[in-house]
């Protein structure tokens, strides 16, 4: 550790010893194991965040330079929680040097330095790579543009191609590899061609999607020796949280960074691997010892969250999976209430029962609304529950809803900022070209796109050459010129030294966006959200006075956690996938019917085992009480009602800890 940083680390030997003594035996072993490959199998509620925090503190107390630590998480929430805990222990100065964040945010930092090796634009002064980051909505627009080029917009949905491209990048397959080694069917051939054109447009716009951030970093580390040596010499200690969620590209990233030291510390729980549909590969955590024969394997098996019956139910249900790393969670807590399994004739009766139980408990003073959570397999299952809650005046919040940054009005102002920062950003350019209305209609936009595609130039270049487009009349070309003048004006204004908040407010006013939303009497919430956006920018600038507009855009592009922080006393509704990492005193698992959960799509052993892991995740969210419900009849998407058997997973919970009954009509 450098002397300057060491002096500002709020740790002494006595305090470090106390921190280690507060851990249980397995946690302490994990925290004291610093060198070599390590896999921590951290069961649900086993205190892994605390263990990770103490381990990093111990590393610093042992003289490890904080700048040599790379710690990747899968969510912003997890990264911020760990950073906050660690800063309380070691102080502010070391935290400035530790590389801790999501895989994507850490890869962005690497790509800012070495992205130019792949042909992305580099700032002449700072030498930082200037790429922009596209979210899912942006990517779908690029695919729609490719579909129009290929005249297949009526044949395939954009989401189909995006899923194909995501899977390809998760496996580190470039378009050429897909075309000649992967594509077997006609559909796959077409998708490989879409992928090729998609990447062409992305590169032309100097843009990367989220999977590019990982894949491009891997390519740089793999193919460019100088860059590889630079980062390997920097990161002597590589750590990954939620290792069970890693895909092949992330796994290769960790391997490349960890070599040649192989101080690779991974934390995960194979029983909670539930993101196979996103490309996660459970075999990565299951085969850890094969990859690293001399690895240390440490199990955290003490659950600090749940009562005995909940822990027992989780242990027993996961035993039915053949492909797993065996562990048995224990708890010092009492058994608590039995697991209540309640069957209903219909989903309406099921929802009425849940509403009645929660309302009775709250009115009796046994709990608050916010102590209760309802978890389901798919979002559509919430509708009937919501209807009953509204009728019963039960406050509720759906977690995992629309992100603040995905709202129309926020995407509009951000698109203006993106274009000002990078004129090559075609997707943002097409969003704002006629927003608010300025006489550049769809016909004109189509002509611009057609010209751009024919001449292999960006939308920006095509707009600049609007006067040369033979099919465009003078009036339309004049409107385009006016729009360009507005952008030039905004760009010059950016150089005048205005505060970022003042500058964004100026753009809102001069672009007409304020007037556009204020004129719509139904859009009061949109105006409020724009005001909230200005407050957010002001806060960002106050906390980061040296940061630029480009830094701000990067920051918000990497926000993947959805929704605002919820402080309202309300029942929480969410999918079981969205519940991962959360905990509640009282949990209702609804819709445990064959064909619903496990899903009808789970036709093979691999998929069924992932469904069972999802059941394990749902069960282990409960701290005190667990209710599981099913209905004999359920409505289908076609409007018909069908009979569904109770889920096979119900039979896997030991009967001695269950209290079950059927409701009568």
Q: Active site includes 222?
A: no
Residue 138 tokens read as 């942006």
Task: Flag whether 42 is marked binding.
Answer: yes
Q: Is the CB of residue 28 less than 8 Å from the CB of residue 20?
A: yes
Q: Active site includes 488?
A: no
Q: Is the CB of residue 421 less than 8 Å from the CB of residue 549?
A: yes
End-to-end CA distance of the chain: 70
| Burial of 173 per CB tally in 10 Å (0-12, 13-18, 19+) | buried
Q: Cα–chain-centroid distance for residue 551?
A: 20
Residue 470 preceded by cis peptide, ω within 30: no
Given 272, 324, 381, 575, the catalytic residue: 272
Q: Is the CB of residue 101 less than 8 Å from the CB of residue 81?
A: no
SS3 assignment for 420-456? HHCCCCHHHHHHHCCCCCCCCCHHHHHHHHHHHHHHC
Task: Flag whether 46 is marked binding.
Answer: yes
Cα(553)–Cα(502) distance, rounded to whole angstroms?
Answer: 16
Q: Residue 441 phi/psi, 5° resolution?
A: -75, -175
Cα(45)–Cα(24) distance, rounded to whole angstroms?
Answer: 13
- Which uninterrupted H or E stretch holds 529? helix 524-543
Given 135, 138, 209, 241, the catalytic residue: 241
Q: Active site includes 411?
A: no
Q: Active site includes 83?
A: no
3-class secondary-structure state, position 548 = coil
Q: Residue 632 phi/psi, 5° resolution?
A: -70, -30
Given 305, 377, 612, 621, the catalytic residue: 621
Given 9, 26, 49, 217, the catalytic residue: 49
3-class secondary-structure state, position 653 = coil
Q: Active site includes 15?
A: no
Task: Flag whether 380 is marked binding.
Answer: no
Task: Flag whether 45 is marked binding.
Answer: yes
Torsion of CA 204, 205, 206, 207, to 10 degrees: -120
Given 242, 350, 371, 611, the catalytic residue: 242
Cα(153)–Cα(422) distance, rounded to whole angstroms?
Answer: 28
Residue 16 tokens read as 């470090």
Q: Taking the alpha carbons of 204, 205, 208, 209 in that order, is the dihedral positive or negative?
A: negative
Cα(322)–Cα(293) distance, rounded to whole angstroms?
Answer: 22
Cα(217)–Cα(451) distance, rounded to whole angstroms?
Answer: 33
3-class secondary-structure state, position 71 = strand
Mention every residue, 6+ apart, whose C-beta is less than 8 A from residue 12.
none
Task: Flag whether 639 is marked binding.
Answer: no
Task: Flag whether 43 is marked binding.
Answer: yes
Given 26, 27, 28, 48, the catalytic residue: 48
CB atoms within 10 A of CB 429: 25
CA neighbor of 344 nearest in space, from 663, 1, 25: 663
Task: Flag whether 313 is marked binding.
Answer: no
3-class secondary-structure state, position 658 = strand
Torsion of CA 314, 317, 323, 324, to 10 degrees: 20
Task: Flag whether 127 is marked binding.
Answer: no
Per the rule left: phi > 0, alpha: psi between -120 and 50, beta: everything else, 206 is left
| Burial of 376 per CB tally in 10 Å (0-12, 13-18, 19+) | buried
Q: Active site includes 412?
A: no
Binding residues: 42-49
Binding residues for ATP: 42-49
Catalytic residue IDs: 48-49, 241-242, 272, 621
């Amino acid at each position: 550790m450098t002397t300057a940083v060491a002096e500002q680390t709020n740790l002494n030997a006595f305090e470090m010893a106390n921190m280690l003594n507060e851990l249980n035996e397995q946690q302490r072993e994990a925290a004291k194991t610093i060198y070599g490959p390590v896999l921590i199998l951290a069961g649900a509620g086993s205190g892994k965040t605390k263990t990770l925090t103490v381990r990093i503190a111990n590393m610093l107390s042992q003289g490890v330079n904080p700048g040599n630590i790379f710690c990747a998480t899968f969510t912003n929430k997890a990264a911020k929680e760990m950073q906050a805990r660690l800063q309380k222990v070691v102080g502010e100065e070391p935290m400035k040097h530790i590389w801790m964040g999501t895989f994507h945010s850490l890869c962005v930092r690497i790509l800012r330095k070495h992205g130019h090796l792949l042909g992305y634009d580099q700032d002449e002064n700072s030498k930082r790579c200037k790429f922009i980051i596209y979210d899912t909505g942006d990517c779908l627009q690029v695919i729609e543009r490719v579909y129009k080029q290929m005249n297949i917009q009526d044949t395939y949905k954009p989401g189909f191609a995006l899923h194909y491209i995501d899977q390809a990048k998760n496996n580190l397959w470039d378009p050429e590899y897909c075309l000649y080694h992967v594509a077997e069917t006609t559909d796959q051939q077409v998708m490989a061609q879409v992928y090729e054109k998609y990447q062409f447009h992305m590169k032309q716009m100097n843009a990367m999607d989220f999977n590019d951030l990982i894949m491009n970093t891997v390519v740089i580390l793999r193919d460019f020796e100088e860059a590889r040596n630079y980062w390997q010499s920097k990161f002597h200690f590589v750590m990954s949280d939620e290792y069970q969620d890693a895909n092949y590209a992330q796994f290769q990233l960790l391997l490349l960074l960890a070599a040649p030291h192989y101080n690779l510390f991974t934390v995960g729980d194979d029983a909670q691997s539930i993101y196979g549909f996103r490309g996660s590969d459970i075999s990565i955590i299951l085969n850890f010892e094969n990859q690293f024969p001399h690895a240390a394997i440490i199990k955290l098996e003490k659950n600090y969250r749940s009562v005995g019956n909940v822990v027992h139910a989780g242990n027993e249900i996961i035993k039915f999976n053949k492909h797993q790393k065996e562990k048995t969670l224990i708890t010092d807590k009492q058994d608590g209430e039995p697991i209540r399994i309640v069957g209903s004739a219909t989903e309406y009766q099921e929802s009425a029962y849940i509403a009645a139980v929660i309302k009775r408990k709250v009115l009796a003073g046994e709990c608050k609304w916010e102590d209760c959570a309802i978890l389901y397999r798919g979002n559509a299952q919430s509708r009937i529950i919501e209807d009953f809650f509204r009728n019963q005046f039960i406050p509720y919040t759906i977690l995992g809803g629309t992100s603040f940054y995905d709202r129309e009005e926020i995407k509009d102002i951000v698109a203006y900022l993106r274009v000002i920062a990078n004129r090559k950003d075609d997707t943002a350019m097409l969003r704002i070209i006629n927003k608010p209305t300025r006489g550049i209609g769809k016909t004109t936009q189509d002509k611009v796109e057609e010209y751009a595609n024919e001449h292999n130039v960006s939308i920006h270049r095509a707009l600049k050459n609007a006067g040369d487009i033979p099919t465009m009349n003078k009036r339309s070309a004049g409107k385009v010129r006016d729009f360009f003048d507005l952008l030039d004006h905004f760009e010059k204004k950016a150089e005048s030294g205005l505060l970022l908040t003042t500058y964004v407010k100026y753009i809102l006013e001069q672009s007409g966006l304020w007037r556009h939303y204020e004129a719509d009497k139904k859009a009061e919430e949109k105006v409020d959200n724009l005001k909230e956006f200005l407050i957010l920018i002001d806060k960002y600038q106050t906390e980061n006075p040296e940061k630029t507009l480009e830094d701000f855009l990067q920051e918000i592009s990497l926000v993947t956690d959805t929704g605002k922080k919820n402080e309202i006393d309300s029942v929480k509704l969410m999918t079981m996938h969205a519940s991962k990492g959360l905990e509640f005193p009282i949990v209702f698992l609804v819709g445990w019917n064959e064909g619903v959960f496990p899903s009808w799509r789970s036709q093979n052993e691999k998929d069924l085992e992932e469904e069972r892991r999802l059941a394990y995740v749902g069960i282990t969210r409960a701290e005190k009480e667990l209710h599981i419900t099913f209905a004999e009849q359920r409505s289908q998407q076609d409007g018909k009602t069908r009979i569904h058997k109770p889920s096979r997973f119900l039979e896997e919970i030991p009967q001695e800890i269950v209290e079950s009954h059927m409701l009568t009509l």
